């Protein structure tokens, strides 16, 4: 079950391209560092050959030691003092320990593939956040690579530098000093790292343990030297401003209480490498770079035998080990070296060693190892980003790999950016930026774990339990606070860059099959608020249309769907469809497989709608089901919208809209993961539109019965006709309604004797027209309300009715012009038979009357964009259904887009 789930998580964001983030060969042919191919759905066990020690502990320890251990221990203790130096260590390790708890929780919650931290963040938070943080993490690795190279060059020049004024260290001084020489040496070292990375990461992994042994021996020699070496005095020379030479007297005192006491407090002074005065923030920034290696083991996740066990276990041991080493080394240095030696010579460990080459070799090995590790890790992250197609063409070449699976183009990308970093010229100059980038990445890991914990998803069951949302939140806050303490400018800039990347990825709208933590969080909150949405507290002044639109075939209904999307006014909008059939006679439910097609249709049209499908023996029964069960809690449809029942041949909207006609070739290369529904399959799923000779699935009696059922269930009913003629409703349309007119006929035109403009149905008609007038594409449309009056009689009550109606519009805050229509010539064709109910149209209405009503509507509303008409209550007798539909068809014939409305619920309110 878990393996099949993770197989989908290895799929890229679009279907063209290599599958997943793993460095193993996947189902789509992605390559690995081994020529062997792995079977689909299973990681290649031949590639996963590293255990906890070699795969996690060794790279993590080497990354955390890097250059800080040998080249910046004196810098930290000298400037900050022992107490503040230990405080920095405690704060730094507290931050990474909180992040480590999150890493352990995420890594023990399922199979971890290649990509390390990027994989964990992207698969937890989704492509937008994962992609933006992944790129930031890549940049952090690039800057770290440049920093380690600069540190290595600094150590090389300290031993082999030709200028005798810069140091009194013994060695072969043949290399000239200077900014451009530093850049040159750094470029040569980077070329060496590039060569190793192009040949393959396996060279580094094979030598990592040997490098760790060398570093360990060097470290032991440092510890032994504090006891074995006798006190010494040194003279240190630096080149000051104006080419003057600055001389400093320094000493190694051996264990001394006085030396320890003098080194307890801070002594921030000028840094000779950058010529700037140090502070707690700048020193902490340099010191924290030693803690940026905790994800080195996680980045090896694609090569680990059991990453969910090795990552937490190996990382915790490595963090505890390095913390102990740093604390012990800080105390030994503070007790044996005076402050001048610590501050004025970052390579002082070579001076006080029993055999200086021990430290020199350790520095070279640790720095070169850290630089190669950073370059390899950065290239793998970039390769993973490229495989997911998050950033499009700029990173597309990074997907290329060699025959052995080495992402050599990604390595070249990394090398080129690292080459730019070395132009900084000094290690301390880029330390702050490296630290800020890493802290932001750590905050993202904590955020991912926090989101998983808050989502309360049943499948979030990490075997590592020593964490809580409190530790995640504390980790996020501590990372953010320290970012701004170190450098507010860099921190603000990195956050702005992160937001820009988020907006870019959101604009590209990549979708994936990874699972979105946002969906889990939204579900958690929506469920809570739906429970709070109490239907007993509904009030008419907060009423809004919540629409169920029944759709037979979207090919002929797209314009009506787009129109109702404007009509909903922030309310619920559901597309309903009834699939005819009986589940007892079917092997499985055919409706479940259709949801993706309908949801893809919603995406194509750009409407904010839900989809609800049902299986039923009849359309009427299925509509009843949807009216009852669609929605949840206080969000249930209160209005049913149907297309008009007539004999017109519908137009195929799919043949008119370019979004549905575009060639499918190459479509997925620019789009996103389409949930298995591409354009050809979407077109093929929905059948062609009905022809005149085609049989009708819905009888007139059943259609009228649906209207009657909805009214009995206290639902408002709207019938839409001729909406295929309505243009400008698409998502790309710039129409604002300034050229449009909305005509409202609030009187029941098939019952001239009623004369009531203030009944529930008429007021509902006005409300719906007003709601449409508030939508974006109808905001500037003119609304006209037509009042039908009989002026031939002596009764002049219509004048009072007009004034009363104007007062009503004022109270309802409806801005509309009132048009008086004298329809004496129409009414003379009307005769109400004895015993007919006043609320229903009579089956005996003459064709002359219906034709006269139609001509009146055409005369006054021929130029309107849409018309709102009063829909009479359907007849109670089943045998009258065809007469009812014939009357509606005759009245609305040739009008253009028309909405017949019958309202049953009060929706207007005049008080506050």
Nearest to 154 by CA among 365, 431, 364: 364
- Please tell me which residue, 510 or 671, carries the higher pLDDT value: 510
Identify the pLDDT of residue 512. 67
Banded model confidence at residue 624, pLDDT cuts 50, 70, 90: very high
Report whether pLDDT(169) > 50.
no
Most confident of 165-169, 616-620, 645-649: 616-620
On the question of pLDDT at 36 being above 70, the answer is no
- Phi, psi (rounded to 5 degrees) for 386: -65, -40
Q: Which residue has the higher pLDDT, 755 or 485?
A: 485
DSSP 374: H
Predicted confidence at residue 77, as pLDDT, reads 94
Range of weakest confidence among 32-36, 137-141, 578-582: 32-36
Task: Render the burial of 79-97: b for 16+ CB within 10 Å, e for the rest.
Answer: bbbbebbbebbebbbebbb
Read off the pLDDT of residues 757-795 as tens digits, 9 standing for 90 and up. 778 898 899 989 999 998 888 888 999 999 888 776 555
Average pLDDT on 255-284 reads: 90
What are 902's strand-pairing partners?
Answer: 717
Give the ranges where 276-306 is alpha helix by DSSP (H): 280-288
CA distance 679 to 238: 71
705 three-state secondary structure: helix
Which range among 514-518, 695-699, 851-855 shows the weakest confidence by mean pLDDT? 514-518
Does the pLDDT value for residue 751 go beyond 60?
A: yes
Handedness of CA 93, 95, 96, 97 (dihedral sign): positive
* Residue whose tokens read 């490098």: 211
Rounded mean pLDDT, 117-131: 77
Decide: 182 and 33 in contact? Cβ < 8 Å: no
* pLDDT at residue 465, rounded to an integer: 84
Query: Which has the higher per-residue pLDDT, 27 or 570?
Result: 570
Minimum mean pLDDT range among 297-306, 548-557, 573-582, 878-887: 297-306
The answer to whether residues 248 and 344 touch, using CB atoms and an 8 Å cutoff, is yes
Between CA 857 and CA 830 the distance in angstroms is 16
In angstroms, rounded to a whole number, what is the distance separating the alpha carbons of residues 405 and 286?
35
Most confident of 166-180, 660-674, 675-689, 692-706: 692-706
Could you give the CA distance from residue 505 to residue 486 in angstroms, rounded to a whole number?
29
Task: Evaluate whether 868 touches 742 at the Cβ level (below 8 Å).
Answer: yes
Read off the pLDDT of each residue in 841-861 and give the average, rounded to a whole number.
Answer: 84
Q: What is the pLDDT of residue 510?
A: 63
Q: Round to whole Å and give the CA distance between 97 and 84.
A: 19
Residue 549 DSSP one-character state: E
Return the DSSP state at 907.
-
Asked whether 412 and 455 are in contact (CB, 8 A), the reply is no
Query: What share of the chain has pLDDT > 70, as a percent?
Result: 84
Structure tokens at 503: 């907006």
Q: Which of 317-331, 468-482, 783-797 has the lowest mean pLDDT?
A: 783-797
**Which residues share a beta bridge with 573?**
547
Cα gap 721→560, rounded to integer Å: 9
Whole-number Å distance between alpha carbons of 523 and 529: 10
Query: How would residue 829 be classed by pLDDT, with cut points 50, 70 and 90?
Result: confident
Would you say residue 714 has pLDDT above 80?
yes
Instruction: Note the pLDDT of residue 655.
Output: 78
Q: What is the pLDDT of residue 376?
A: 85
Torsion (CA) 469, 475, 476, 481 in degrees, nearest 10: 140
What is the C-alpha to C-alpha distance for residues 493 and 482, in angstroms, rounded to an integer?
15
From the number of C-beta atoms within 10 Å of its C-beta (0-12, 13-18, 19+), residue 456 rates as exposed
Q: Considering only 427-436, 521-530, 684-693, 889-898, which range has the smallest mean pLDDT?
A: 684-693
pLDDT tens string 391-403: 878 888 888 888 8
Q: How far apart are CA 746 and CA 758, in angstroms?
A: 9
Helix, strand, or coil here: 447?
helix
Q: What is the average pLDDT value for the chain, to the nearest integer?
A: 82
Report how far apart, in Å, the C-alpha atoms of 413 and of each of 23, 142, 144, 424 are.
Answer: 18, 10, 15, 19
DSSP strand E in 240-319: where? Answer: 245-252, 270-271, 276-277
* Mean pLDDT value across residues 542-547: 88
Rounded Cα gap, residues 323 and 890, in angstroms: 87
């Amino acid at each position: 079950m878990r393996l099949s789930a993770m197989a989908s998580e290895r799929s890229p964001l679009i279907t063209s391209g290599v599958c997943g983030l793993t460095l193993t060969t996947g189902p789509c042919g992605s390559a690995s560092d081994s020529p062997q191919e792995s079977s689909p759905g299973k990681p290649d066990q031949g590639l996963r050959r590293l255990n906890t020690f070699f795969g996690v502990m060794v790279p993590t320890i080497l990354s955390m030691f890097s250059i800080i251990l040998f080249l910046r221990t004196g810098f930290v203790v000298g400037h900050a003092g022992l107490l503040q130096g230990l405080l920095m260590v405690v704060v730094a390790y507290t931050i990474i320990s909180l992040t480590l708890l999150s890493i352990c929780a995420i890594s023990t919650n399922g199979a971890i593939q290649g990509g390390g931290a990027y994989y964990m963040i992207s698969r937890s938070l989704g492509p937008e956040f994962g992609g933006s943080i992944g790129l930031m993490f890549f940049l952090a690795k690039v800057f770290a690579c440049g920093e380690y190279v600069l540190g290595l060059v600094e150590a090389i020049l300290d031993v082999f530098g030709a200028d005798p004024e810069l140091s009194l260290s013994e060695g072969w001084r043949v290399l000239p000093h200077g900014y451009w020489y530093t850049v040159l040496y750094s470029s040569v070292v980077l070329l060496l790292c590039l060569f190793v990375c192009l040949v393959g990461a396996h060279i580094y992994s094979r030598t990592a343990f040997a490098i760790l042994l060398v570093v360990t021996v060097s470290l032991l020699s440092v510890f032994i030297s504090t006891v074995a070496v006798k006190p010494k005095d040194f003279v240190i020379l630096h080149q000051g401003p104006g080419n003057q030479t600055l001389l400093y007297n320094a000493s190694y005192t051996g264990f001394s209480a006085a030396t320890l006491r003098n080194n307890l407090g801070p002594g921030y002074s000028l840094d000779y490498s950058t010529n700037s005065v140090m502070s707690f923030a700048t020193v902490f920034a340099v010191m924290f770079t030693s803690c940026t290696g905790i994800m080195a083991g996680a980045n090896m996740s694609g090569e680990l035998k059991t990453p969910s066990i090795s990552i937490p276990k190996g990382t915790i041991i490595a963090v505890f080990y390095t913390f102990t080493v740093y604390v012990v080394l800080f105390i030994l240095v503070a007790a044996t070296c005076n402050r001048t030696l610590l501050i004025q010579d970052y390579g002082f460990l070579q001076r006080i060693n029993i055999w200086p080459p021990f430290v020199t070799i350790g520095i070279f090995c640790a720095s070169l190892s850290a630089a190669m590790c950073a370059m390899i890790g950065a290239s793998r992250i970039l390769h993973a980003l490229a495989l997911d197609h998050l950033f499009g063409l700029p990173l597309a070449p990074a997907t290329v790999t060699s025959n052995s699976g080495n992402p050599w183009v990604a390595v070249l990308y990394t090398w080129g950016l690292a080459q730019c970093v070395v132009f900084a010229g000094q290690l301390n100059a880029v330390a702050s930026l490296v630290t800020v980038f890493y802290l932001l990445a750590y905050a993202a890991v904590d955020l991912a774990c926090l989101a998983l914990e808050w989502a309360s998803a049943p499948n979030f069951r990490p075997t590592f339990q020593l964490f809580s949302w409190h530790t995640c939140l504390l980790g996020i806050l501590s990372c953010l606070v320290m970012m701004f303490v170190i450098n507010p400018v860099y921190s603000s800039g990195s956050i702005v860059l992160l937001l820009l990347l988020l907006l870019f990825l959101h604009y590209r709208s990549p979708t994936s099959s990874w699972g979105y933590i946002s969906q889990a969080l939204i579900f958690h909150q929506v469920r809570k608020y739906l429970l709070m949405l109490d239907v007993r507290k509904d009030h008419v002044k907060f009423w809004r249309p919540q629409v169920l639109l029944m759709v037979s075939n979207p090919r002929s209904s797209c314009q009506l769907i787009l129109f109702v999307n404007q009509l909903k006014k922030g309310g619920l909008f559901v597309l309903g469809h009834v699939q005819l059939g009986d589940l007892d006679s079917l092997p499985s439910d055919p409706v479940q497989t259709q949801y993706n097609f309908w949801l893809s249709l919603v995406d194509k049209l750009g409407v904010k709608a839900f989809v609800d499908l049902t299986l039923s023996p009849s359309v009427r029964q299925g509509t009843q089901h949807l009216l009852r069960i669609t929605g949840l809690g206080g969000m249930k449809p209160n209005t049913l919208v149907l297309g008009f029942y007539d004999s017109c041949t519908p137009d195929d909207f799919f043949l008119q809209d370019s979004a549905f006609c575009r060639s499918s070739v190459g479509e997925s290369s620019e789009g996103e993961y389409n949930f298995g529904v591409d354009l050809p399959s979407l077109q093929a799923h929905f059948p062609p539109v009905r022809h005149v000779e085609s049989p009708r699935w819905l009888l007139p009696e059943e259609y009228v019965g649906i209207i009657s059922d909805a009214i009995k269930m206290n639902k408002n009913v709207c019938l839409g006709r001729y909406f295929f003629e309505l243009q400008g409703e698409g998502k790309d349309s710039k129409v604002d309604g300034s050229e449009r007119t909305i005509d409202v006929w609030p009187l029941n035109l098939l019952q001239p004797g009623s004369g009531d403009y203030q009944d529930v149905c008429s007021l509902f008609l006005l409300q719906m027209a007003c709601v449409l007038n508030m939508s974006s594409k109808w905001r500037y449309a003119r609304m006209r309300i037509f009042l039908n009056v009989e002026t031939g009689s002596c009764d002049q009550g219509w004048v009072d009715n007009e004034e009363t109606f104007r007062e009503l519009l004022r109270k309802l805050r409806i801005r509309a012009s009132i048009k008086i229509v004298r329809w004496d010539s129409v009414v003379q064709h009307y005769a109400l038979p004895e015993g007919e109910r006043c609320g229903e149209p009579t089956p005996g209405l003459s064709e002359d009357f219906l034709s006269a009503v139609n001509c009146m509507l055409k005369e006054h509303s021929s130029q309107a964009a849409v018309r709102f008409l009063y829909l009479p209550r359907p007849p109670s007798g089943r045998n009258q259904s065809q007469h009812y539909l014939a009357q509606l068809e005759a009245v609305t014939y040739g009008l253009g887009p028309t909405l017949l409305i019958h309202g049953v619920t009060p929706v207007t309110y005049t008080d506050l």
